[in-house]
Structure 1
Amino acid sequence: MSTTASTTSARTPTTGAAHRYGDPSTRWALLGAETMLSREPRINTRQRWEYEDGLVLNGVYGVYRDTGDVRFLDYVRTNIDEFVQPDGTIRHYAYDEFNLDHVNNGKAILDLLEETGDERYRAAADTLFDQLQHQPRTSEGSFWHKRIYPDQVWLDGLYMGSVFYARYCALVGRSDLVDDVVRQFTNAYDLTLDPATGLCRHAYDATRSMYWADAETGLSPHVWLRALGWFAMAMVDVQAYLPQDHPGRAQIRTNLGALLTALQRYADPATNLWFQIPDQAGRPMNYLESSGSLMVLSAIATSLRLGYLAGPGWDEALERGWTHAREQFLSITAEGWVNVHKMCQVAGLGGATRRDGSYAYYMSEPIVTNDHKGYGPFLLLATEMERRR
């Protein structure tokens, strides 16, 4: 494994004095990736196979692709190699949980496979693909989010499992599965759409039996910003792995445009950022949330670069959101490390604590700093913004 940077000019200063708060000239993606190398050389000291780590590794890999600095590629490889063994087995991964979250790190595995050709990464990717081939499904054909959440579709799961599904199929030539990949996305949109707002609810219960589910629609009570962010990023990313002429690709792009347009209607007018519950901006305790706002802005930025969004106002909305995101969510420590603040630590439905999807529930989850579910989207968005320079 290489340990020498391809250039020294890519390195950024390590003192906080070198950067001003919210400074638009700072290379935020590069500084954020440098921060990870210094502050978290091991991305998961608990030895747990966790989806949010893959999100950060994807962000660091993007910085490697843009800078050519192999330290960032080495960081991805070192941290994935904590889990992927010489025979391709994945330590601390539980196949039989049928948990879509466990598949997300497969994107970093595919990055390494394409960079190195190492067959152990192919074996690890094969295992994750095999999970999806046996993943339980709802009557509509959608993957269950987890085995412990039967007949439930969560928007988070499209980012976790179905983008990898599409990319793997494209890599190995499984064109017979393209329709199924598309089905995961179009089903999720159709099943969770709230026509009154144009936004998608957090989750859907096909049985209508969960205590959080509407008895008629099966929908959870609220939209949740980060779920919308996961879904928007997933709809952007998947298009790279679908045939250009497949009608499902056009439908996914149409759905993406409709969702982003609806989200823009609910953006905070002062900042072009979004609240934890986007369509409840005026309610007490609701707050501008970083992880979901960064995800939505990242989806907009990538869509603009790839030509997925058209019409006036998008560039201005993106630039204004990024300006306020730097001011609202980012700080730099005395060491010169980036902190990302104001993120919901976690939110879900059901489980041992009977998470009921109510407004009070979403307001009750801790607000934290530097959780990987927010740090990864920061890296992804910052990388896109630097590409616009």
Structure 2
Amino acid sequence: MKNTTKYIVLFTIALGLSVTSCKETKKENTEETATIEKLVPENLKWSERMMLSEIERFPEATKLDFRTTPGWSYTNGLVLSAAIKVYEQTNNQKYYDYIYAYADELIDSTGTIKTYSLESQNLDMIKSGDVLLYLYPKTKEERFLKAMETLDSQMESQPKTSDGGYWHKKRYPYQMWLDGLYMAEPFHIRYAQEYYKNEAEKEKIYNDVVHQFDLIQKHSRDEKSGLLYHGWDESKEQKWANKETGNSQHFWSRGMGWYGMAMVDVLDFLPENHPGRERIVTYLNQFAEAITKVQDESGLWWQVLDQGDREGNYLEATGTSMFTYAFAKGARKGYLDKKYLDVAKKAYDGLLENLVTIEENGIVNLNKCCGVAGLGGNPYRDGSYEYYIGELIRSNDPKGTGPFILASLELNR
């Protein structure tokens, strides 16, 4: 009887341990399941994975670019232009709602754009007009049309160099920057095409848009390398400007990235029979040839394009993403030889292998992004090599994630 009692006690203890063990195992499994719950599914294409990651990082589209307060800026327009293409491919309402919320919050009932200043004559502020070009035909909300009319009026009053090139901003007099062509010209030409009634007025805008590219080629292109300098100062008064040419000192990766994207996007709206079309295609081919020559063996491009072996230089994500998009789209549309599609694929593989990381929850990060770079201003940016490599480097800058999404869509990866 004593032995029986002992066995019963032992059995009870064993059963208790077994139950406890099962509970602990179940708890561990639950915890494990919780840690690998994916905010961004890994079975989606890279375009959607990055778009969802951006929405997780910036639930409010008005605060893209690490803003603490809502603002009308080119970075929002860049990422949302990519979001539009993702929405068109997936028909996922989440993306449309994200796009709409941006315009809804920043444009009031009268069509006034919050945080925007017409008096600043800042080309950067035109870019988000692309969002309105998309939303107005869908919503027919008069406030969106009014806001577009304001942006178009800025292009009409924008100060110009003596030969007709738009100043980058009113506070940067007599200066053309590569950035400006992407910020303003795709909106400028599309708005004229879709909303101008008079054919002669449309033609005037087409000519003016092409003229901006002609001037940048004339003033900013280095004949030897084929690369383009970041900025040109007609007055030659800026400390960063060469006293003979007016050019800044270096070939900045993202500066040329903006220019490449500007060409392939403007060609979407420049009529087939326009005489300037062939010139822009020629510029794009010259651009592609020069850029390919300075591509690193990894597929990526350097922050200062032609000085890859110089101390402090680094392989940079935003410019690389922009070149990838420009080459992939240019090849698809027939502007560039098909060999540039291979260049784009090599670059994209380089991004995935070297600069893209994925968190446990599926969030996708794009690393080694130059946070900002400009010329002049206060504190003064002198355009030196040390300046370009010394600016902030961060992950998930929208100037990289937006083009990465666009490149992903072009390559259907």
TM (normalized to structure 2)?
0.86
Equivalent-residue separation in structure 1 for 2:56 and 2:370 (angstroms): 24
Q: What does 1:142-181 align with in structure 2 at a 5 Å threshold? A: 142-173=165-196, 174-181=202-209
Three-state SS of the structure 2 residue aligned to 1:360 is: helix
Aligned residue in 1 for 2:143: 120
- Tell me the equivalent position of 2:342: 316
Residues 357-366 or 65-74, more deviating: 65-74
Equivalent residue for 2:236, pick from 197, 204, 208: 208
Counterpart in 2 of 1:349? 375
Deviations 1:255-289 (A, max 9, x none): 011101110011002x2210001111110111110
Structure of larger gyration radius: 2
Corresponding residue SS for 2:105: coil
Letter of the 1:195 counterpart: E
Counterpart-to-counterpart distance in 2, 1:52 and 1:151: 24
The alpha-carbon deviation at position 119 of structure 1 amounts to: 2.0
Q: State the SS of the aligned residue for 1:200.
A: coil
**1:37 lines up with 2:64 in the alignment:** no
Matched, 1:276 2:294: no
Aligned 1:1-389 pairs, distance under 5 A: 15=38, 19=42, 27-43=45-61, 44=63, 45-173=68-196, 174-269=202-297, 271-310=298-337, 313-386=339-412
**Residues 166 and 16 (structure 1), Cα distance of their counterparts in 2 relative to 1, 3 Å cut:** same
CA distance in 1, matches of 2:37, 2:241: 49
Amino acid at match of 1:335: N
Distance 1:18 1:121, change over 3 A: closer
Report the AA paired with residue 289 of structure 1.
E
Q: Can you give the 5+ residue segments of structure 1 that lack an aligned partner in the other structure?
A: 1-12, 20-24
The one-character-per-residue Cα deviations of 1:167-217 (angstroms, maximum 9, x if unpaired) are 111111323321111111211122100111100000000011111111111
Give 5+ residue unaligned stretches, structure 2.
1-35, 197-201
- Please say if residues 16 and 333 of structure 1, whose CA atoms lie closer than 8 Å, have aligned partners that are also in contact: no
Q: Distance in 2 between matches of 1:221 and 1:80?
A: 38
- Give the direction of change, closer, same or farther, for the CA distance of 1:344–1:17 in structure 2 (3 Å limit): closer
Distance 1:14 1:187, change over 3 A: farther
What CA distance in whole angstroms lies between the structure 2 residues aligned with 1:277 and 1:244? 35
Tell me, yes or no, if the aligned pair for 1:99 and 1:145 is still in contact at 8 Å: yes
> Deviation string for 1:76-111 (max 9, x for gaps)?
001221111122110110110000011111111111
Q: Which amino acid is 2:236 matched to? A: R
> Deviations along 1:12-36, whole A, 9 cap, x unmatched?
x9628964xxxxx751101111222
Relative contact order higher in (CA < 8 Å, ≥ 6 apart): 1
Q: 2: distance between equivalents of 1:113 and 1:14?
A: 38
Please give the alpha-carbon distance, in whole angstroms, between the structure 2 residues aligned to 1:101 and 1:89.
Answer: 17
RMSD: 1.6
Segment drifting more, 89-98 vs 45-54: 45-54
CA shift, 1:372, in A, is 1.1
Question: Following the alignment from structure 2 to structure 1, what is the Cα–Cα distance between the partners of residues 403 and 411?
Answer: 12
Counterpart Cα distance in 1 of 2:331 and 2:139: 30
Whole-Å separation in 2 of the counterparts to 1:137 and 1:91: 26
Q: Judging by fraction of residues, say which structure has more helix.
A: 2
Separation in structure 1 between the aligned mates of residue 368 and residue 319 of structure 2, nearest angstrom: 10
Contact 1:343 1:367 in 2 (8 A): yes
**Residue type at the aligned position of 1:321:** A
Deviates more, 1:288-297 or 1:185-194: 185-194
What is the aligned length?
Answer: 368
- Partner of 2:352: helix, strand, or coil? helix
Counterpart of 1:339 in 2: which secondary structure? strand
Moved more, 32-41 or 320-329: 32-41
Write the distance in 1 (CA, Å) between the matches of 2:300 and 2:193. 34
**Does structure 1 conserve the Cα–Cα contact (< 8 Å) formed by 2:323 and 2:344?**
no
In the alignment, the residues of structure 2 paired with residue 14 and residue 233 of structure 1 have an alpha-carbon distance, to the nearest angstrom, of 36
Identity value in percent: 39
Deviations 1:141-164 (A, max 9, x none): 000000110000000000111111
Q: What one-letter code is carried by the residue in structure 1 that aligns with 2:318?
A: S
User: 8 Å contact 1:14–1:337 — kept in the other structure?
Assistant: no
1:6 is matched with none
